[in-house]
Structure 1
Amino acid sequence: MDVTFEAGLTLEEALRLAYDDDVTAIYIEPPESNVLTDEDSDDEDIGGSIDKLSGTQLHAQAEVKLANSDRISGRTPCSSSKSQQKQKRSFSWVDGDLEHQSKNSFEAGYTCYKDLSPIELVEKFLADEIMSLLVEQTSRYALFKNFSDPKVSKNEMKCFIVILIISGYVSLPGKRYYWKSQGDMRNSTISEAMRRNRFFEIMKCLHCADNSNSDPNDRMWKLRPYMEKLKLKFLQHYVPEKEMNYDESMIKYYGKHSCKQFIRGKPIRFGYKMWCMNTVSGYFVNCEIYQGKSSKRFIPYEEQFGKAAAPLLSMLDELPGQKRNLPYFLYFDNLLTSINLLENLKERGYHATGTFRENRIPKECPLSDKKTLQKRPRGTHESIIEKESNNVVTMASTCYGVSPITNVKRFSQAEHKIIQIPRPHLNLSRYQISVLANSEFPTFDSQ
């Protein structure tokens, strides 16, 4: 096949290709224009209906993945010549199980932080260089808009940010209400820290980047200098922990922005989608806001592992020094998990576990399909390993296997009582995925 789309491949064109070619996946970018809402995803296993797509979605940029792992983004010709195709790897599947991987290789130590007060901990991240950036850009923006220079000091800027933090968990109808005289409105912590007019003077001019030096390829350019400095602080003070989770998180936002997403069924449905890497104790290691086509794209990783997994590998590359070379246990959901990703992480020395979409299981893998397993009793499980790379699929892992098998209590519809169901060790790791993602404990109906 030799196809060229000069303006880029749209979702509508990608759907047409799906009828004629062996397409296994279609990835969609956010629309280029100012769009208030855009449905981003549906049920993880089922997906949305192509008959209910909006016009903005159909014209959004897209990327198609073929069965032979070739990708078509529409910006370059795609040829079926053998020289340009990736060699399809053959797998050797055998019955078996993985040996349990020990996690006692290193322990997180927070002794250097345990005696610090909350204010001292916050100042570790909102350091002088970040305050200097905000003060400088706020003053520059005031001159840019022909306002009088607010002449904000670093301490004033810290006080301003603290007020924003307080207003995040002490909610009132509007910012001005924190200075009202009524007892049910006034917040003495805020009103005594800064005058109301001074707060709004700073807020009117608050800025993080120079407007005269914009980057049209980066939709987050107005926040980029602040975000990059803050991410450096996250990485600097990161104390390595064995287990880390990579998942999407929503930042609530109701305004107008081309990066804004709408995700059905999420606690926060409207806002920015951010890829986050977190530890089991809740430390925020690294992040990247999803914005589709941008200067911050990770092209080599996208071509090999897809747009969802590419930021993960980039975040691992950004870990400083020796923190990058530790044997982490990584967890993620079925949006990311693929055999290629697991192999790459294992080559880097990392262990990985994730739920696995049935349509990504290699066709030659001798596992029963979902419909067959659903007809079997609860507690039924199957396992298979790839003889060379030892990757387990259905739940896919490089560190967990079936053994040791434990029991879990579940209610039996047939017997009308709670019974003991055998649970493979790999399924127990799904609980760890959920804990790391700060979600509820999942009901795992293993077949």
Structure 2
Amino acid sequence: MLSKYMFYSSVTIRRGFTLEEALQMVFSDDIDEIYIEPPDAAILTDEDSGEEDGGGVIDNLSGAQLRAPAEVILHNNERIGGDDQLLNAEDKIVVQNNSSQPLLVQLEKPNWCQGDLQPPNSNFQAGTYVQYKHLTPTQFFEKFIDDDVIQLLLEETSKYALFRNCADPKVSKEEMRCFIGILVLSGYNELPSKRHYWDIDSDMRNELVYKSMRRARFLQISKFLHFADNNKPDLTDKIWKLRPIMDKVKQTFLHYFEPEENLCYDESMVKYFGRHSCKQFIRGKPVRFGYKIWCLNTPSGYLTNFEMYQGNNPRRSPVYEKLFGKASAQLVTMLDELKALKGTQPYKLYFDNLFTGMTLLKYLRDNNYEGTGTIRENRVPKGCPLTNKKAIGKRPRGTYESTLDKANGIILVRWVDNGVVTTASTCFGTQPLNQVKRYSQSEKKLFMYHDHISSANTIRQWGAQT
């Protein structure tokens, strides 16, 4: 199987993989994840062949999903077959945006020197959530699922019943709230299927659900529940059926966001075994089937902004995609939306090596933001004086090197931990050094090692929190 994987890597890397080809390599120990690009949107259905309650089987993937482009991620974070086209460190790109002024991102020729970054003087005006601390969980929930959202659900549910030539279910606001409450409860009180909440056996029945709504009524609302008008499909948008409610919830998230200096941008999986063409398959992860969401979060876990991955998003910015690549372009779009609603603030952004690039860091710095993230070897500028990963990996654990690109204000740091890690930052230098405990396999005991820079601690903390 490994030889077959090597064959695919050498022969098909130029054109990328389909999911079917990637699954032929799925049993290789070298492969960590497989992402698929959603197929084209459908008018009446986005179904695959799996049962809604018993999905999560590869054999249930549809033909359109098997033919969709795929990206293979190895254990060493190397990605094969995906879109990873970013600007070289010396590129100067001028592209036109919607305004009269061209968007200019210029990386100066790197001027490498030994030095450190000084923390910038922060004049960040932080907000506070103190006005919400006395709210009950129900009151807080209703801040986001408010009357406007409930009214949208009632109108579109009624329209869909008529679209199906069925009688109007005439769902009331109280019934819809009760229905949503049952869905929330089912998220932490899982049973084999939704029918089991009304089961006659005491080890299955949930008394709260049983006394709140009849099973037939719950199934009727489930049958007709809709968020968009099927008579007005937008086939350029693969998630057009979810778009109205997503837009409402996104605006609410931004509205109640109180500015915090540190924000994390990453991808997240939402578990989903149902029927939709945007459902992703990721091998080797706790959530193997579901939606992939680009998320902008605060340290406390507040979801500031989000966008569902769907391949070619009709709301994408070709300008940003050309400058930063598909994955990072959505971050810049979210920052634009945040700026439009909350004004300009010097946010500090954190991300992993899927997003980090020298052009993105320079753009953030030029626009009064700061960025920090791990960076891939192929995105490190040519001529960077850091010791290559293979050589530095033979040195003792805790060894680190740093170099400062004085022309662009970006520091690169490479250190030896469990593996060799490289970070890039526009705001965090190598000082102060800290000590951390690490277990030595050879000595079979804990040792204290220098932890190279404050940004390393920051990234680890973000990984634990988000």
TM-score range, shorter chain: 0.7 to 0.9
Deviation at 1:101, TM superposition (A): 4.1
Q: Identify unmatched segments of 5+ residues in structure 2.
A: 1-11, 18-34, 41-62, 94-104, 413-421
1:346-374 Cα distance to aligned partner (Å, 9 max, x none): 12212211011111100111111101111
Which one of 430, 443, 446 corresponds to residue 402 of structure 1? 430
Partner of 2:74: 43
Find the counterpart in structure 2 of residue 113 from structure 1: 132
Whether 2:295 is the aligned partner of 1:276: answer yes
Q: Work out which of the residue numbers 330, 347, 353 in structure 2 matches 1:311.
A: 330
Q: How many residues align?
A: 393
Distance 1:15 1:206 in 2: 38
Q: Following the alignment from structure 1 to structure 2, what is the Cα–Cα distance between the partners of residues 274 and 371?
A: 34
> In the alignment, what sits opposite 1:95?
114
- Give the TM-score normalised by structure 1: 0.81
RMSD: 2.7
CA distance change for structure 1 residues 436 and 101 in 2, over 3 Å: closer, same or farther? farther
Deviation at residue 70 of structure 1 after TM alignment:
9.9
- Separation of aligned partners in 1, 2:262 and 2:86: 31
Matched residue type, 1:342: L
Aligned partners of 1:141, 1:297: CA distance in 2, in Å? 29
How far did residue 329 of structure 1 move? 1.6
Give the drift of 1:400: 0.8
Out of 349, 367, 372, the position equivalent to 1:353 is 372
SS where residue 73 of structure 2 aligns? coil
Checking the alignment, whether the CA contact within 8 Å between 2:37 and 2:70 is kept in structure 1 is no
SS class of match (1:178): helix
- Is 1:431 aligned to residue 460 of structure 2? yes
Letter in 1 for 2:209: I
Question: 1:441: which partner in 2?
Answer: none
* Matched position secondary structure for 1:112: helix
Question: In 1, Cα distance between the equivalents of 2:14 and 2:441?
Answer: 47
- Hey, what does 1:443 align to over in structure 2? none
Q: Distance in 1 between matches of 2:209 and 2:380?
A: 56
* Preserved contact between residue 127 and residue 258 of structure 2 (Cα < 8 Å): yes
TM-score, normalised to structure 2's length?
A: 0.78
Alignment of 1:381-396 (within 5 A): 381-393=400-412, 394-396=422-424
Deviation readout 1:176-227 (Å, 9 max, x if unpaired)? 1111232111111111111111111111111100001001110000000010
Tell me the SS of whatever aligns to 1:287: strand
- Alignment of 1:363 with 2:382, yes or no, is yes
The answer to whether the 8 Å contact 2:372/2:424 transfers is yes
Distance in 1 between residues matched to 2:80 and 2:408, nearest whole Å: 36
CA displacement at 1:34 relative to structure 2: 2.6
CA distance in 2, matches of 1:422, 1:187: 53
- From the superposition, tell whether residues 12 and 421 of structure 1 become closer, same or farther in structure 2 (CA, over 3 Å): closer
Q: Contact (CA 8 Å) 1:338, 1:356: kept in 2 or not?
A: yes
Say whether the 8 Å CA contact 1:44–1:335 is kept in structure 2. no
Normalized per residue, the structure richer in strand is 2
Identify the residue that residue 64 of structure 2 maps to in structure 1.
Answer: 34
Q: Distance in 2 between matches of 1:401 and 1:281?
A: 24
SS in structure 2 opposite 1:220? coil
**Letter aligned with residue 409 of structure 1:** K
After superposition, residues 242-253 of structure 1 pair within 5 angstroms as 242-253=261-272
Is the deviation greater in 423-432 or in 37-46?
37-46
CA contact (8 A) 1:40 1:263 kept: no
Unaligned 5+ residue runs, structure 1?
A: 1-10, 17-26, 51-56, 72-85, 438-447
SS in 2 for 1:325: coil
How much identity, in percent, do the aligned residues show?
47
Letter in 2 for 1:431: R
* Kept after mapping to 2: 8 A contact 1:28/1:63: no
Judge conservation of contact 2:301–2:465 (CA < 8 Å) in 1. Answer: yes
How far, CA to CA, are the matches of 1:284 and 1:324 in structure 2?
18
In 1, the alpha carbon distance for the partners of 2:122 and 2:108 equals 31
Pairing 1:144-155 to 2, within 5 Å after superposition:
144-155=163-174
Higher deviation after alignment, 272-281 or 248-257 = 248-257
Matches within 5 A, 1:56-135: 89-101=108-120, 105-135=124-154
How big is each residue's C-alpha offset from its partner over 1:48-71, in whole Å with a ceiling of 9 and x where there is no partner?
567xxxxxx9xxxx6856858699
Structure 1, 209-218 or 376-385: larger mean CA deviation: 376-385
Larger mean CA deviation between 388-397 and 268-277 belongs to: 388-397
Cα distance in 2, alignment partners of residues 112 and 424 from structure 1: 39
Alignment of 1:174-193 (within 5 A): 174-193=193-212
Amino acid at match of 1:34: A
2:258 maps to 1:227: no
State the distance in 2 between where 1:39 and 1:13 align.
13
Residues 329-340 of structure 1 mapped to structure 2, 5 A cutoff: 329-340=348-359
Deviates further, 222-231 or 186-195: 186-195
